[in-house]
Structure formats: structure tokens, C-alpha cells
Structure 1
């Protein structure tokens, strides 16, 4: 489990400006958890003035530890605004689409646009064994609450990452027939831009569109059409943020939009600005500063 700065900034709006204000490190999960967890991420900052970072939603659950609270965030359907001030840290677990289901056994659609306490979101957390890496829990303290206390004591960082991994490995997530197939389809929907309709995924899966929707609702939390549309906007925003000269009509065609106007409409609805306006913001941020040594290459 080696930490790395992210080469992909998918979902981080105007990342050049963001990396002037915070440090982001990602840790690959252990092989035992790699089927369910995408990565464990750590953010820290030390700021003279407040900074607000906009983030686009992914079709996945995030578990977030902060100094004041810990929350399981279901799939969000809107961009979020994260306010950073003073000195602080956050540690998060980004699950793969569908990857949190084995730990919760709750239909993921019930978590959409919701945040829950870790104890509430997990299946039978009171029966989870306390991993060997953790100190003995306080009397009447659940394993989840004990984990939260230890992560806060360590203020995130690699030691806390090891604790989080040990905790989730101790839960022994159980697979379910059909889950892995839906996880693979969700990944294809994000990465393969030739798949432009939910019907394409249903055909690939050899199932009906209705059955595919039910499975996505259960395991992912949002429908396949939502995953496809958000992935296309993420791709467009990523290219703009990293300084690519974008021919919008050509990009719209490449990503499967009906036309350039369709791309602009979806982009503005999610990002909050037209592609041209967002590109101008990113250029301004790039011109205002020099790259830091630990910043992802562009």
C-alpha cells in the first residue's frame, strides 16, 4: 500500500487552483479489498484564508472521516462545495461503484443524496471483530465508533489508513450473485465512451433495460443512464482542466452527445458553467502560479 499523488483529477473542479490550497494523496487498497475499494484518500491543508473547492459526483459511496464527525455519503447527484479553513485534514474511502453494498446490504438507492453514521450504514456493525491493529475498545463502544476515535487521534495519515483497511477486512464482505457483473458494467459505463445509452449496457449484459435499472438501483444507487451521462461530463471537464485545446463539436461527437449544444447543456447543468467559461477559469488558475513538486503532472 504505497501513497501517491493522483494523476487523475476527475471530479475535482479547477484542480490547479485547488492544489495551491490543499494536498491530496491516494493509497491503493490491499489485494483483499481491491475488489470493493477504489482507493483511500487523504487531504490536508494549512491556510491563512478560507478556500472553497467544488467537486463533481461519482457513482460511488464515500466514507469520510473528519475531525468533528464521520459520515458515509451515498451517491450524490449534484456537485458539492467543500470549505477548507485554518489547518485540517480529511481521510476518505472511495468505494468502487457497487463496492459498498457487501458491507451494508442496504439497497444503495436508499443512500442516494444521503449521509449516514458509519454504525448506521454497516450491516450488524456490533458483530464486527475489533482488528488487531486497534487498541482495546472502550466499554460499550462499537467497533465502528472505536475506529472513528482512533482515526481522529491519528489525524488521518498512513497509520489511520492501515486501521481503516484492517477494519473493513475484518468485516469479511460477502459477494452476491450478479453484483460483480453490475460493478463491471458500471466501470464500463464510466470508461467506454462508445456506450452512449443505457440500452447499450443492457445489450452488453444480455438483460432487459428494466432488469438492469433494478440492479443498478440496488447495487450502485443510480441508474445506468445517469452513470453514462456523468462520465461524459467528467471526461470533458478533465480535458479542459489539464489544458487541452478542445474542439467542442468534435468532443461532443466523440463522447456520444447528439450535438455540441447537448454537451454544453449537460456540462453547464453539472459544472455550473459552460465549457468555455470553465476553460477560462482553468487558464486563469494555470497562469497565476507555477506547478508544485508534489502536484499531479498535466
Structure 2
């Protein structure tokens, strides 16, 4: 099974095609933000012809500096429940922060689930003008320097302490790493709470339900296998990932990606 960083990479659909048009980088947060921010990331693209990049969303909230109607803005991206598509054309770049599961709650001070499937200017949800910092982030030629500006801005927001954040972050990260976790009830047992309580906590802090989280990580394991160089025994993979049989795995993957896993593997 892939490592955690491998699952992050697995979220990029058709990586061989994307690699000709986009360049993705990543940096780690400083220690004072590491409990809330998982990583900073940036994308540069050079697409003379329009390129639509598909991404399988993980249970991660992002804050990205990008051009909106030609002007720099910070956008808050809630967890997208379905495939996320972004059209890229010409040359450009984006710099963003990817938060740990539940890590955006201390900045939002509200229900993260209200952001599900939405892209909202930071000013609308955080109550601060995001335009100056977005302009400064994108003005830097080196994206690492833009990420440092974004980190400084996040510190200035003064995130509140929330004891549920490290508990839920660890639980989601356990679900990502442990392929034997295939049901939300297993997460509830690990947390020592009822499934209903866990569902409430996930909605308010993570931004999406525990069942979705478990199923999405197992599908990302399938995607990672499809991106590999080895021939995949799909029936064996289905058994190892907790699917009832190979046909259940194929249906779930096809519903998300639009192609059966074997066909996608040949294309990707």
C-alpha cells in the first residue's frame, strides 16, 4: 500500500499527462503551525492549449492565492465530495495551504461542514480583507517565499485552541494509513464515541462525514495502484481494501473517476 505522501500524489488524475503541463511543489510548515497546517503547496502551469486537471479530493480544506476575474484573492476551498476539476490555460501559478483534518476549524471558528463543496473568498468566511495578502503571495517569483507570506498571514489570524482538533486529525490520519479501516463504525470505536457523535464532530470540524473519509482513502489506494507500473490483481486488491468483491470496487471507482480501474490504469 502507498505511503501517505503517495496517496496525496494519487489524488492527481492522469499524472503522466499532467506532468507535461504543470509543476507541483510542496513545503512543510514551521512547528508553530504544524498542528493545524499539513503542508504548503504550489502549482505552476504552462498550457498553450486549455488543460482540464482532475483531482480526487481528500478530507482537506485549502486556502489558495489565485487570480479571480484577473485579481488576486485568497479562496477557501471546503472539502469537495466529488471529483474536482480545474481548467488551466496560458501561464500562471497558485500558492496554497493544505490544512490537517479539522485544522481549519480554529481559524474559521464555525462549522467547517458549511463549506462542503464550496470555494469562498476568505474575506467572506474569516471577516478580513484577503486581497492585499493574496497580491503579496502571488507577487513572489519563488513560490516558497509566497508560502512564507501565507504562513505569516495565518499566524496573524490568531487561531483558537480546540482540543478536538488533534484528536480528529490523528483519527483521520489513522484512517488514511490503515487499510483495515473500511467502515465508519471502526473509527467510532477507536475514538470511543458513538457513531452519531463522531458524525457530528466530523461535520463540524473535518467538514465531511466519517463514512466518506474512509471510503475516499480506500479509493485513493485503488488510484495509487492504478498509477503504478505493476499489473494489478483487482480481485486481490478489493479483498485487501474491504470491498465485498471486485465488482463493488469497480462500481465505486467508476462512479468517482468515470472509468473502471483497469481502463483508467491503461489511460493514466
Report the TM-score when normalising by structure 2: 0.92
**Greater fraction of residues in helix:** 2
Identify the match of residue 258 of structure 2 among 269, 272, 276.
Answer: 272
Mean CA deviation greater in 151-160 or 59-68? 151-160
CA 1:109–1:153: 2 relative to 1, 3 Å: same
Match in the other structure for 2:49: 49
**Alignment partner of 1:253 is 2:257:** no
1:179-190 mapped onto 2 (5 Å cutoff): 179-190=165-176
Cα distance between partner residues in 2 of 1:196 and 1:230: 10
Identify the match of residue 116 of structure 1 among 100, 113, 120.
Answer: 120
**Alignment partner of 1:93 is 2:75:** no
Match in the other structure for 1:235: 221
Is 1:42–1:156's contact at 8 Å kept on the other side of the alignment?
A: no
Cα distance between partner residues in 1 of 2:76 and 2:249: 31
**Alignment partner of 1:199 is 2:185:** yes
Match in the other structure for 1:296: none
CA 1:117–1:155: 2 relative to 1, 3 Å: farther
Match in the other structure for 2:27: 27
In the TM superposition, residue 101 of structure 1 has moved relative to its aligned partner by 0.6
**Alignment partner of 1:171 is 2:157:** yes
Output one character per residue of 1:171-227: Cα deviation in whole Å (capped at 9) or x when no partner: 232221322211111111122111111111111111111111111011011111100
Unpaired runs of 5+ residues, structure 2, are none
What value does the CA root-mean-square deviation take over the aligned residues? Answer: 1.5
Mean CA deviation greater in 237-246 or 150-159? 150-159
Provide the secondary structure at the position in 1 that maps to 2:48. Answer: coil
Cα distance between partner residues in 2 of 1:82 and 1:116: 15
Structure with max Cα Rg: 1
In the TM superposition, residue 41 of structure 1 has moved relative to its aligned partner by 0.8
In the TM superposition, residue 156 of structure 1 has moved relative to its aligned partner by 6.4
**Alignment partner of 1:79 is 2:86:** no
Is 1:89–1:155's contact at 8 Å kept on the other side of the alignment?
A: no
In the TM superposition, residue 49 of structure 1 has moved relative to its aligned partner by 1.7
**Greater fraction of residues in strand:** 2
Alignment coverage as a number of residue pairs: 259
CA 1:155–1:269: 2 relative to 1, 3 Å: farther
**Alignment partner of 1:154 is 2:140:** yes
1:126-165 mapped onto 2 (5 Å cutoff): 142=129, 144-154=130-140, 157-165=143-151
Match in the other structure for 2:195: 209
